[in-house]
Amino acid sequence: MTDDVDRILEQWHHERPDLDVSPMGVVGRLSRASAAVDARLARTFAEHGLDASSFDVLATLLRSGPPYRISPSVLARDAMITTSAVAQRLNKLERGGLIRRDPDPDDGRGTVIALTAAGRTAIEETLPAHLATEHAILSTLNLAERDQLSTLLQRLRDASQVPERWPTVGR
C-alpha cells in the first residue's frame, strides 16, 4: 500500500538520487500519525467540553490522588508543559470552575492547584471516552505490536533528547 509519503520519497529520489531520504519516510509518517491521533482525540475532548490541554491538567490533578492538589511546578513537570503554559491553562480552567488556586499550606507565598468537584466530574466523565478513543486508534495493532511500537517510540524520544548524538552531513 502506498501513501503520500511514498510519493514524496519518490520525488526526492528523482530530484536528489545522491541523498538517502529514507528518514523522511519514518519522520513524515510519524508526524502525520501524530496529527491524525491529535485530531481524533480533540473530537473526543470537544464532545465533553474540553480541549487537550484542559484534559491534560485535569487528568494530572486526578491521577495525583486525594486531595487532588499540586503545585504549579509539579503540574508543569507531570503534564510536561512550561510554567508559562500552565498559567494560561489554569486561568481558563479557573474561569470554568474546574480548578481553583489555594494558598500553599507549606509556603505562604505560593499556591497549589486544586481540582474542584466540577473539574473532577468533567475529567471522570471524559476519561472513559478518551480511553475508548485511544483503544480504537490502536485497534489495528495487536498487543505485541503495541508494546513494540511503544518501545520504539521511547527509544526515538530518548535519542531525540540528546542533540550531540545527531549526525550532520560533512562531519
pLDDT the model gives residue 171:
44
pLDDT the model gives residue 166:
55
Q: Which three cell numbers stand for residue 29?
A: 509518517
Strand order of the β-sheet with 69-70 is 69-70, 107-115, 99-104
Asked if pLDDT for residue 71 goes beyond 50, the answer is: yes
Asked if pLDDT for residue 82 goes beyond 80, the answer is: no
Furthest C-alpha separation in the chain? 65
pLDDT the model gives residue 108:
78
Q: Which residues contact 167 (CB under 8 A, 6 or more apart)?
A: none
- For the chain, the average pLDDT equals 91
List the one residue out of 29, 46, 123, 27 whose CA is nearest residue 79: 123
Q: Which three cell numbers stand for residue 115?
A: 481540582
Band the pLDDT of 58: cuts 50, 70, 90. very high
Residue 74 φ then ψ, to 5°: -65, -40
Contacts 24+ apart (CB under 8 A), 128-131: 129/44, 129/47, 129/48, 130/41, 130/44, 130/45, 130/55
pTM > 0.85: no
pLDDT the model gives residue 76:
87
pLDDT the model gives residue 48:
97
| Residue located via cell numbers 504549579 | 72
Asked if pLDDT for residue 170 goes beyond 80, the answer is: no
Render pLDDT for 103-156 as a digit per residue (tens, 0 to 9). 988 887 889 999 999 999 999 999 999 999 999 999 999 999 999 999 999 999
Q: Any idea which architecture 50-160 has in CATH?
A: Orthogonal Bundle (1.10)
Give yes or no for a contact between 56 and 79, defined as CB atoms under 8 angstroms apart: yes
Q: Percent of the chain, pLDDT > 70?
A: 94
Band the pLDDT of 32: cuts 50, 70, 90. very high
